[in-house]
Amino acid sequence: MSELFDAPFRELLRDVVRHVRELRAKEDEQAHARRRLLGPSGTFAGHRRYVAGDDLRRVDWNVFARSGELFVKQVEEEQRRAVTVLLDGSASMLAGDPPRFSGARRLVALLGAVALARLGGFRVFAGARLWAYARLGELQRLLRDLDGLTADATDQDAMLERCVRSGRLPGRIVWVSDFARLGEVARGLRRLAPWRRQLVGLLPRTADDAGPALEGRAELRDPETGARLALRIDPGLAAALRDELARLAARRAHEFAERRVPLVTLDLPAADDARASSWLAGGWLDKL
């Protein structure tokens, strides 16, 4: 049993899956009606390259006969249900107490549980890694992958570049990051501009984003650059920092608004908090 995905959180995941299944039963009736219109496999929407984990029954063998490469047929329903997570694996995600990266992985696990429970595809780009999950039964593998994931100072620009080059960004794209460096944010939004209608920014907020909870002498460290800053925190400095953080949040919101990309924020619960009311607060899942 990992510390990240401990028993209470796994119980939360099960509750979420159960809840999604109940919702899916209702949606299935609507899906039958749509299938009557679009066919049992949904409306053909195009081809995409075969990736590991794809159902071999969906391989378009005619295209393979012509091109010699494997392509699978995409239908509208699949595209709508697929979720792709771009998880910022940079070291800056280690900031906060508990670290933002831990909360972010829990959020990704929640997202994966919901997506897989809806019978949709789920992909995770994390640094140089790409994981794809097609069935709910792969939720445990997702949890293992996330549990073993480390914030290894991977360049986020490089990750986005690999993601864009893959050309396979179906369904909803959720970019999970601290969005602390506006330059990276702007560059990422520019790269993902072709998918801006599918793109959602998810900011797991920690106490680090709210302002200093410290007083007196402290040493702050940027995990990504390794830079350190020793200072004496007093109310005046705390107020000035809050102003700076508010200005940063405003500019970040402006960047997302300018690209017409929604930005969803969630105050991360404490590490030992596994309540659904805490992890699903604000209905952020619905916004995705």
Q: Which residues bind another protein (CB under 8 A)?
A: 92-97, 99-100, 178, 180, 208-209, 214, 216-225, 227, 229-232, 236-237, 240-241, 243-245, 248
Centre a 10 Å sphere on the Cβ of residue 207 and count the other Cβ atoms it contains: 15
CB closer to another protein, 133 vs 256: 256
CB closer to another protein, 94 vs 280: 94
The answer to whether residues 100 and 111 touch, using CB atoms and an 8 Å cutoff, is: no
State the Cα torsion 103-106-112-115 to the nearest 10°: -70
CB closer to another protein, 40 vs 183: 183
| Residues near 121 by beta carbon (within 8 Å), at least 6 away in sequence | 78, 81, 82, 83, 115, 132, 133, 134, 170, 171
The answer to whether residues 89 and 154 touch, using CB atoms and an 8 Å cutoff, is: yes
CB closer to another protein, 78 vs 224: 224
CB of 186 to another protein, least distance (A): 15
Q: Which of 223, 132, 120 is nearest to 178 (CA)?
A: 223
CB of 4 to another protein, least distance (A): 18
CB closer to another protein, 36 vs 228: 228
CB of 242 to another protein, least distance (A): 9
Token pair 């396979």 is found at: 168
CB of 282 to another protein, least distance (A): 22
By the 10 Å C-beta count (0-12 exposed, 13-18 middle, 19+ buried), 30 is classed as exposed
Q: For residues 138 and 34, give the distance between their C-alpha atoms in angstroms, rounded to a whole number.
A: 27
CB closer to another protein, 74 vs 92: 92
CB closer to another protein, 140 vs 225: 225
CB of 246 to another protein, least distance (A): 10
CB of 263 to another protein, least distance (A): 16
CB of 106 to another protein, least distance (A): 18
The answer to whether residues 164 and 187 touch, using CB atoms and an 8 Å cutoff, is: no
> In sequence order, what DSSP letters do the residues of 176-224 get, joined into one string?
E-----HHHHHHHHHHTGGGTTTEEEEEEE-HHHH-----EEEEEE-TT
